[in-house]
A and B are shown apart, each in its own frame.
Chain A
Amino acid sequence: MAHYAILLYQPTPGDPDELTQEERDEHSRYGNQIEELGGKMYAPHALKSSTMATSVRGDMVTDGPFIEAKEVIAGFYVLEARDLDHALKIAKLCPANWQGGGVEVRPIAAGSTLPPTP
């Protein structure tokens, strides 16, 4: 099995409070869909608005996200999948894709939320 960080991008500021109830429900249903497709989701997180973010570069502290962009990371989770094709199939169903944003599928090198590989 391979592990990927699924990074959910939303239009700036990526505020979860702006999601409608319907959109929230889509996200909760998505969790079950992942299991049905044979994937496993670990450590799902939704982030607060990127306007709440503070960035540190060396000694300098600035307000706002690390990179100013039209889209910001609004959430993430760790996906366990068979291979990249399996991960992409699951990633395509992520509600972020039709809620104005999209997702990045990023292979994980090492981490502590992962189960030990057999």
Chain B
Amino acid sequence: MTSVEQAVADAHRREWSKVLAATLRVARDLDLAEECVQDAYIHALEAWTRSGIPAKPGAWLTAAARRNALDALRRARTYRSKMHLLVESDVSEQSLPIDPVIHDDRLRLIFMCCHPALAIEARVALTLRLVCGVSTQDVANAFLVPEATMAARITRAKKKIAGASIPFRMPEASELPDRLDAALNVIHLLFTTGHTAPSGET
């Protein structure tokens, strides 16, 4: 593995969910956000080989992924597809800080994944997949179900988030008491998964 490949692999392990959460704020659509993040990592392989590994790989990847998302949304807007309904009008390239408030975005992502409108096993699976970057195979192992079953469960949950317009935002203070338990449960299970990894070295 070259040093650039190593750096990209490290950034994937450490920064993936932060980059995803920050991108989702712009993309407003999980599938689109995931795609943009993936493209950013692919782009990094080539760009970092050409001009060196940046000092803050996470910030570089976030900026690249959000740019991808903005491009995709502008394209979609031009095509008058439905996507333009999801664009926040106040989002522009200038308003995007290089180092965004990452913790808020990740917490939003957790609350979106733990929405009471999702089945409880889907909440945990989705959070493991999206917030922790655990592979679908490993999530399946943790739940003792075949990978195809878990992939279908995660896809169903993502469809419901889009179809029912489950928002990507922090619950209001008045909603927090109802919403907190689900998030805490999931976070507890995340630590369990970290403690006894379903695959690889523990």
Minimal beta-carbon separation of A67 from chain B (angstroms) = 22
A107→B163 contact, CB < 8 A: yes
B85→A117 contact, CB < 8 A: yes
B164→A107 contact, CB < 8 A: yes
Interface residues as binary, B90-133 with A (CB distance below 8 Å gives 1, 0 otherwise): 00000000000000000000000001010000000000000000
Closest 10 A/B residue pairs (Cβ): A2-B165, A83-B167, A83-B165, A107-B164, A84-B166, A84-B164, A84-B165, A85-B167, A107-B163, A84-B117
Cα–Cα, bound, A86→B172 (Å): 11
**28 A-B contacts (beta carbon < 8 Å):** A2-B164, A2-B165, A4-B164, A82-B165, A82-B167, A83-B165, A83-B166, A83-B167, A84-B115, A84-B117, A84-B164, A84-B165, A84-B166, A84-B167, A85-B166, A85-B167, A85-B169, A85-B171, A85-B175, A86-B167, A87-B165, A88-B117, A89-B175, A105-B164, A107-B163, A107-B164, A107-B165, A117-B85
What is B's interface to A at a CB cutoff of 8 Å? 85, 115, 117, 163-167, 169, 171, 175
What is A's interface to B at a CB cutoff of 8 Å? 2, 4, 82-89, 105, 107, 117
Cα–Cα, bound, A36→B141 (Å): 48
Minimal beta-carbon separation of A76 from chain B (angstroms) = 17
Q: Beyond the given A4-B164, A85-B169, could you list 8 further A-B residue pairs with CB under 8 A, ordered by the A residue number?
A: A2-B164, A83-B166, A84-B115, A84-B166, A84-B167, A85-B175, A86-B167, A117-B85
Minimal beta-carbon separation of B88 from chain A (angstroms) = 12
Cα–Cα, bound, A77→B167 (Å): 22
Minimal beta-carbon separation of B111 from chain A (angstroms) = 10
CB-CB under 8 A from B167, the residues of chain A are 82-86
